[in-house]
Structure 1
Amino acid sequence: MKIIFSEDHELHQSPGELFLGGFTEAFEKPERARLVLARAREVGLGPVLAPESFALEAITRIHDPALVELLQTAHAQWLASGRSGAAYPYTWAARGMRTDRVSKEIDGKLGFHSFDCGTPITATSWQAIKASADVALTGAKLLNDGEESAFALCRPPGHHATASQFGGYCFLNNAAIAAQSLLDQGAKRVAILDVDYHHGNGTQDIFYHRDDVLFVSLHGDPDQEFPYMLGFADETGAGAGEGCNVNYPLPWGTEWENWSAALEDGLQRINAYAPDMVQVSLGVDTYKNDPISHFKLEHEHFTRMGARIKSLNRPTLFVMEGGYAVAEIGINAVNVLTGFEAA
């Protein structure tokens, strides 16, 4: 399995985030990608390729150009306003406020185009953000060129980013950008299976009214877990997309037996949809020791997960998302991939 990876991921480093009432070291950190790559090399998963560079049009097929421009210029605007350090949003377009216009000031722009305060922008974040999207697009190109599988080792992750908002450590929705690329290159239907602990609210929002992408997500129940306001089972798509959104919200403490039962049902839904290609938003924060998650999967369960995904028997692109038990992230992510390869 070919691995696409960019050293530019190192250019995004959050100074920290609010967690449990205090300011703490960021959970989304460069070590995550380094350790996944090191483990992939250790087990001989496959060759490591640098990403190609794609035009911004591949990104604006999914994202609002105003968001893309902001991500490129936010830090410079932040400094020009007299601030220092990373640019953090701190006010948002809440209910009752106007959303038909955006403030000219950087704080208003950040608030309009974000939904949390845990996703800061530094002087070099854009280079990492763009490289992460290029990693995913290169993976999609490999599938279009005939590869049966590929691993886009994206960082920063992407599945929380909507068409016009960033948040949840995510700036651009790498999986959605790659899926659109597959469709633009001739695929008629793409299925996205999101196995991250947190609901891929951005991916759902982007494709919710479309029938050319099936979105299937297994995640922490939004009655208990971030992002809280999306990911319920009654969200099934709308308009042309009715029936093309499938959520499996699961309670804190979910173990493999119940998680895998939801996976089996989701795989059946994907098979019935009969996609040309499959993408997996690969978050491994379902691991029992993840510091910000509450599921109970063990190392061996990730291997079994990969084998079950292989049963779909379709070209498959894995796109890296979350996983914050840093010492074990390489083991768990690569177990999925080796389980897939061995099946």
Structure 2
Amino acid sequence: MFRIRRVFDDLLPRDARTIGQVQALLRDRFPAVSEQEVRQLPAQLRDPLKHRFRTVLFAAESAERLAGFALMLHVPDVGFCWLDYIATQEGVAGRGVGGALYERVREEARFLGEAGLFCESLPADAEHCRDPDIRRENRARLRFYERLGVRIVANTAYETPLIEEPAPCPPHLLFDPLSADRPLSRDIARRVVRTILERKYGERCPEGYIDAVAESFRDDPVRLAEPRYAKPSNHALPRVSPQVVLTVNDRHDIHHVRERGYVESPARIDAILRKIEPSGLFERIRVRQYSLRHATAVHDAGMVGYFRAVCAKLGEKEAVYPYVFPIRNQTRPPRELPRRAGYYVIDTFTPLSRNAFLAARRAVDCALTAADAVLEGVRLGYALVRPPGHHAERRAFGGFCYLNSTAIAANHLAEFGRVAVLDVDFHHGNGTQDIFYERSDVLTISIHGHPNGAYSYFSGFASERGEGQGRGYNVNFPLPDGVDGEGYRAVLNRAVKRIARFKPRFLVVALGLDTAKGDPTGAWGLIPADFEKNGRMLGHLGLPTLVVQEGGYRTASLGANCLAFFRGLSEGVRERTRNTEQTI
């Protein structure tokens, strides 16, 4: 078994190792490639503007070992994609790795919406290639492409050798239309050929060569040769790859408080899933189990231990609500666990129940699984969880929150680079603020209802900016009731600019959908169009992004608002990918 992931750069140790393996395979399978080209791969991934292509690397891996790779060049200023190299390790050719890699490249090109996918392949006919051994190898490559529906571009001078030599073996130009009803126009073909010859081979092309080859494309639409080496398979064109990896707390419903007015219910997750799963935008993955050390890395171990112990002792229908709080004497906790609740719970409406710990721990597992997917190269991850977590502080929980999944995942990501946490729940993320208040490697920003009238009441003021090393790395935007979409985006724009100045490696979004019109716990008026615009603004940051579900309690609109947000987020990523601040 193998899996394919995108490698964005060499900043993470795992990605650096994978790129090193890709370079070794590139040397082995393409001996004619210059050492300079092999060595510049990490720089190409980091800095597309300098190299005039946006380099996209897909790695097929099995048990941390590279099985193969595909290297695609995206040219957004011209509007096409170019498959530069595709290769598999010896012994894996018959396992479908090459085909799967090509399908992944094709999906990416289709997602980008470009004119088509182009590549080169050496000829297998005696006219262009005299060596019979090389012809056999070339025939196998052309057979591979033709089975996938890729066609040789015919009736042009593309096969003209760059230099006169006894056996030049010049390559064919191949074209994948990505869609059966999209022919290749002559003007697009000429632009593509000029771009490739100038940017890839410009230093080697003799004077007048590029003009001659480009002008040789006279057919409109461009003619494609009939398959000569294999019959194209009849399988349907692949769908666009899901843009968001999804983890769902499959044990959230064991935590269900059946009391009038208790809005944090299992129906919230079901309402979201019913809307988002049919969209094709999400790919649900299996949730892994993680050690509690991730939780105790941000929470007081005594609090976590108490939470676990008290829940384990409760009966199936029992619930504990705190009613005595240690304002006067915090050094003498009651012996009985239920009476000790006030030492760790900050309000009187967050119950401790038999399954609260199990559900909260599973929510943490979901967030960490999605975070690890982001670390593995996924651009967007979504942990759809309940109970929520952003009100859980270092040594206290409340607001229906027990373990701060958002903060735990952000802390995990922070081991690999700076993290910006943006909380867009209607209620202040007091727990996340408390956990990172003295840290400068995690920027925390919260846009929320003013604490003068909104939970958690005692935190979330604009004057709270962090302490010690964290001074200036906590930002609050408390807003009044009645905020509409336009007013919200004005503030979100300020938050986005602050994140951009921070230059984080990752973005974590605490997604509250209780900013929506009609939410029973909020006082704002955002509609689906607003959520989509907000998501697009965040996508334009171009950061690997983890979204963790927090609040949102109007089940009638939860799904539509959530789907709108992620459509905007993924579209923003697409726009950022296609349009850089400077022209490549």
Give the TM-score normalised by structure 1. Answer: 0.93
Matching of residues 1-150 of structure 1 within 5 Å:
1-16=244-259, 24-78=260-314, 85-94=318-327, 97-150=328-381
CA offsets 1:238-287 (integer angstroms, 9 cap, x no match): 11000000000000111112211110000000000000000000001000
The whole-number CA distance in structure 2 between the counterparts of 1:298 and 1:281 is 18
Deviates further, 6-15 or 261-270: 6-15
530, 551, 554: which one aligns with 1:325: 554
* Counterpart in the other structure of 1:211: 440
* Counterpart in the other structure of 2:484: 255
Unaligned runs of 5+ in 2: 1-243, 573-584
Query: What is the deviation of 1:179?
Result: 0.7
The whole-number CA distance in structure 2 between the counterparts of 1:291 and 1:200 is 18
* Counterpart in the other structure of 1:163: 394
What secondary structure does 1:236 align onto?
Answer: coil
The root-mean-square deviation of aligned C-alpha atoms, in Å, is 1.4
The whole-number CA distance in structure 1 between the counterparts of 2:442 and 2:332 is 30
* Counterpart in the other structure of 1:21: none
The residue identity in structure 2 corresponding to 1:3 is L
* Counterpart in the other structure of 2:156: none
Query: What is the deviation of 1:108?
Result: 3.6
Count of aligned residue pairs for this structure pair: 329
Q: Say whether 1:183 aligns with 2:419.
A: no
* TM-aligned CA distance change 1:76 to 1:140, over 3 Å: closer
CA offsets 1:108-132 (integer angstroms, 9 cap, x no match): 4210000012211222222111100
The residue identity in structure 2 corresponding to 1:324 is Y
The whole-number CA distance in structure 2 between the counterparts of 1:25 and 1:49 is 33
What secondary structure does 2:392 align onto?
Answer: coil
* Counterpart in the other structure of 2:535: 306
Higher RCO, 1 vs 2 (CA within 8 Å, ≥6 residues apart): 1
Query: What is the deviation of 1:6?
Result: 2.3
CA contact (8 A) 1:14 1:119 kept: no
Query: What is the deviation of 1:76?
Result: 4.2
The residue identity in structure 1 corresponding to 2:254 is L
The whole-number CA distance in structure 2 between the counterparts of 1:219 and 1:101 is 36
Structure showing greater radius of gyration is 2
Query: What is the deviation of 1:327?
Result: 1.4
CA contact (8 A) 1:255 1:297 kept: yes
269, 278, 286: which one aligns with 2:498: 269
CA offsets 1:284-311 (integer angstroms, 9 cap, x no match): 1000110111011111100111000011
The whole-number CA distance in structure 2 between the counterparts of 1:4 and 1:78 is 29
Percent identical among aligned pairs is 37
The whole-number CA distance in structure 2 between the counterparts of 1:38 and 1:71 is 32
The whole-number CA distance in structure 2 between the counterparts of 1:25 and 1:12 is 16
Query: What is the deviation of 1:101?
Result: 4.3
219, 223, 235: which one aligns with 2:452: 223
CA offsets 1:169-196 (integer angstroms, 9 cap, x no match): 1000001000111123x22x10000000
The residue identity in structure 1 corresponding to 2:484 is E
The whole-number CA distance in structure 2 between the counterparts of 1:205 and 1:198 is 14
CA offsets 1:133-181 (integer angstroms, 9 cap, x no match): 0000111101111111110112110000001111001000001000111
The whole-number CA distance in structure 1 between the counterparts of 2:487 and 2:556 is 26
The whole-number CA distance in structure 2 between the counterparts of 1:51 and 1:61 is 20
Unaligned runs of 5+ in 1: 17-23
The residue identity in structure 1 corresponding to 2:451 is P
CA contact (8 A) 2:363 2:387 kept: yes
Give the TM-score normalised by structure 2. Answer: 0.55
What secondary structure does 2:497 align onto?
Answer: helix
Deviates further, 331-340 or 265-274: 331-340
